[in-house]
Structure 1
Amino acid sequence: MGQSLAQNYIHIVFSTKHRHTKIHPPYEKELHQYIAGTCKDLDCTALRVGGYTDHIHVLCRLSKNIALSQLIKELKMSSSKWMKTQHETLSNFYWQNGYGAFSVSPTEVDKVITYIENQHEHHLVKSFQEEYRAFLIKYKVDYDERYVWD
């Protein structure tokens, strides 16, 4: 085979440090755009970026040229630096150390996009912790509750 081809859809989720509610207008939409731009720069086209006041969801195509851990490191590092420049009250903006990353079937992409678009409505009734635990259970990820949150 002479050509390397890949089509891996990844749903990435990570929160602010200690789930501090720091992602608010007017920074929220711009933050999502910034993260999408970073994905594009890393050849990982973002299909949707969204979230709520204390976390982010990214649905992207993972490039065959970058490891998932490197993509997330770059997303978190660059967006944290960007947020700190937006206002003096954000000088202590940090992301949590960990993340969740879940593969998405091509047939489920539209469903995940809709899910990400409806984060504000979704979180009127469910906390980030409840949402994240549900992902871990759905994807059958073994985890230790003591180490999930920071």
Structure 2
Amino acid sequence: MSYTQLMYHIVIGTRSHRPVIDQNYERELYSYILSFTKNKNGHLYRVGGMPNHVHLLVGLPSTLTVADFVRMLKISTNNFMKEHQPEFPMFEGWRSEYFAATCSLREKDKIIEYIKNQKTHHAKVCFKDELKQLLEEYGISYNEDYL
């Protein structure tokens, strides 16, 4: 038997960074993400975001790569939001790029608070600058043309 603790901070953005996730219906989307994660034998510690992106702190089983999880999550939530078109009328899809970084248990509470306080955080910082900060904090090189 293998013993693993694979925790990831994941950020997915809407196509063209458009603000299409209505605050009045984000809970429905987040509940769907919770169910999706459970169905993949993962653990959703926290989900939150803004009208143009979603943050997740998830624990994944060792049999599921983060790339596969994000790909399946985007497909599944894309279908969910299209099926609930009255609640998400402007949703056109997710960006192909995403952010994912491994996290330790020591960072868990800090990241949960960070995700919980997205609306306050974004009163001061735009999504592009937030993403650049995350990439730099985790030492991930990036091409600014794709942000």
Partner of 2:10, secondary structure, is strand
Change (3 A) 1:129 1:91: closer
Note the residue ranges of structure 2 that are not aligned, 5 or more in a row: none
Partner of 1:61, secondary structure, is strand
1:45/1:61 contact within 8 Å kept: yes
Q: Which ranges of 4 or more aligned residues in structure 1 deviate by more than 2 Å? A: 87-93
Note the residue ranges of structure 1 that are not aligned, 5 or more in a row: none
Q: Which TM-score applies when normalising by structure 2?
A: 0.94
* 1:106-121 equivalence runs, <5 A: 106-121=105-120
Task: Calculate the aligned-residue CA RMSD, in Å.
Answer: 1.3
Question: What's the CA shift for 1:91?
Answer: 6.3
In structure 2, how many angstroms separate the alpha carbons of the residues matched to 1:39 and 1:28? 16
Q: Which amino acid aligns with 1:13?
A: V
The residue aligned with 1:5 is: 3
Q: Which TM-score applies when normalising by structure 1?
A: 0.92
- The structure with the greater share of residues assigned to strand is 2
How many residue pairs are counted as aligned between the two chains? 146
The residue aligned with 1:63 is: 61
Q: Which amino acid aligns with 1:19?
A: H
* 1:1-150 equivalence runs, <5 A: 3-88=1-86, 90=89, 92-146=91-145, 148-149=146-147
